[in-house]
Amino acid sequence: MARYYDLHPDNPQPRVLRQIVELLRGDGLIAYPTDSCYALGCQLGNRSGVERIRDIRKLDDRHPFTLLCADFAQLGQFVKLSNSVFRQVKAAIPGQYTFILPATAEVPRRLQDPRRRTVGVRVPRHTVTQALLAELGEPLLSSTLLLPGEEEPMTQGWEIKERLDHQVDAVVDAGDCGLEPTTVIDLSGPEPEILRRGAGDPARFE
């Protein structure tokens, strides 16, 4: 049965944050809110967590994951940035964007695109997510909480608890969160390519 953590949206309780991070460090899998709907998240090295996400969402081995980073400096440890891409990403974060970029050696090969060696990264603009990332001290490996056969991601903590009670270790609730997934921009090629139009305004990349 999943634990249910109720966090204040503006001033998340430090004691509760520590409990969630302790669970993550023990190879736990959580459902948590972001500025672009709920996501499933675990530590970067949590192999079983990755497989559980794939099982919940019925994803194949090729489906990409996203690294949620606390800030631009942390993001820069996991992806390679040219000067022009550096400026584009820096100007757009924090925000509702996921960027596809060449991965550094810090990213396990099993989490990279097998052909292109890329990975998705983002820096969210969400108080509770940022507090979790600060307490964890490393990125969260994440995937949008979109269940098989459904067109929209889940957005209510209590509903997630009911439906995934025996599939995740904890549900983090902080009230309303975003309703749309992120806008996904591939910046690994010569020109930006918009792979998904979502909550972030894609105009700056067109």
Confidence of residue 24 (pLDDT cuts 50, 70, 90): very high
Mean pLDDT of 148-161: 89
Q: Are 181 and 198 in contact (CB under 8 A)?
A: yes
Over 90: is that where the pLDDT of 86 sits? yes
Q: Name all domains of the chain by residue range, CATH numbers in brackets.
A: 3-205 (3.90.870.10)
Quick one: CA torsion of 125, 123, 23, 52, rounded to 10 degrees? Answer: 110
Over 90: is that where the pLDDT of 119 sits? yes
Over 80: is that where the pLDDT of 3 sits? yes
Nearest C-alpha neighbor of 120 from the set 96, 100, 104, 105: 100
Nearest C-alpha neighbor of 140 from the set 40, 51, 48, 53: 40
